[in-house]
Amino acid sequence: MSGRRVLITAGASGIGLGLAKRFAAEGDQLAICDADGDAIAQVKAGHPDFIAHHADVTDEAQMDAFLAQVEDVWGGVDVVCANAGIGGPAGRIEDLDYGAWRDCVGVNLFGAFLTCRWAARVMRAQKSGLIILTSSTAGLFGYPLRSPYAAAKWGIVGLTKTLAMELGGANVRVNCICPGAVEGDRMERVLANESAATGTPIEDLRAAYVDCTSLKSWVSVDDLADMALFLASPAASKVSGQILAVDGHTESIN
């Protein structure tokens, strides 16, 4: 039992829940938040040992309540995964709605702020910790028709580099994982949006997501959990400020 205290935002489904289950299987304690109250209730039912809180990462009052609860119960934190993000709208910038743009950048980038601010305060005081942010291959390439998502995910890369420099002297590591296309519900929604925006059949888009990678492969949630567990292990004790793609090596995005 490693017994690390691991906090994951957007942890009630998708990648966040997959990470939570893998850390829990290592014997770690878990605290998750999610904007979906029903999904949180389901996690609570299946994992009564998790701290599971209904909170939107962009809502300061909700996040303050969640983070205060975690601090009360644990008195500190070892690993924080700022994982929450939404796909946002698909379309040329001239056709995008400002509200949809703001929501996308808001969840993907502003949402990381409240989580990282709290993690930095707690970890600096305890002189240890690891923050893992989630960007995307969209944070490594230009991504036509997904401008708010790409802008936000490049922002996460900048935040990672900067926080690694601000916190390194306090023995806090900060890294970023860039998933490629991950099998699951979220990518099915992205494919449907992109197909509607371009008129390209979904199956052609699905094939294109694989064709642009060297390994010609989709990514699984377990592939991402493997990287997060490596980062949280002693083997990664000198790994900080890194932008780690888990994507089968994306060669280009069309």
Which residue numbers are catalytic?
Answer: 136, 149, 153
User: CB 129 → ligand NAD: shortest distance, Å?
Assistant: 20
Query: Which residues, including other chains, have CB under 8 Å from residue 235's CB and lie 6 or more apart?
Result: none
User: CB 27 → ligand NAD: shortest distance, Å?
Assistant: 23
Query: Which residues, including other chains, have CB under 8 Å from residue 169's CB and lie 6 or more apart?
Result: none
Nearest CA to 245 out of 184, 194, 187, 181 is that of 181
Beta strands in the chain (DSSP E): 5-9, 29-34, 51-54, 79-82, 129-134, 172-179, 243-246
Nearer to ligand NAD, 111 or 129 (CB): 111
Q: Tell me the C-alpha distance between 231 and 225, whole Å.
A: 10
Query: Which residues, including other chains, have CB under 8 Å from residue 16's CB and lie 6 or more apart?
Result: 8, 9, 10, 32, 34, 81, 83, 84
Nearer to ligand NAD, 168 or 188 (CB): 188
Nearer to ligand NAD, 88 or 91 (CB): 88
User: CB 162 → ligand NAD: shortest distance, Å?
Assistant: 18
The binding site for ligand NAD (CB under 6 A) comprises 9-10, 12-16, 34-36, 39, 56-58, 83-86, 107, 111, 134, 136, 179, 181-182, 184-187
The single-letter DSSP state of residue 168 is: G
Nearer to ligand NAD, 120 or 187 (CB): 187
Nearer to ligand NAD, 20 or 167 (CB): 20
Radius of gyration of the chain from its Cα atoms, rounded to whole angstroms: 18
User: CB 163 → ligand NAD: shortest distance, Å?
Assistant: 16
Q: Which residue has the tokens 């519900």?
A: 185
Q: Tell me the C-alpha distance between 71 and 145, whole Å.
A: 40
Strand pairing category for 172-179 and 129-134: parallel
User: CB 3 → ligand NAD: shortest distance, Å?
Assistant: 25
Nearer to ligand NAD, 57 or 232 (CB): 57
Residue burial 57-85, b: 16+ Cβ < 10 Å; e: rest: bbeeebbeebbeebeeebeebbbbbbbbb
User: CB 83 → ligand NAD: shortest distance, Å?
Assistant: 5
- Side chain identity at residue 35, one-letter code: A
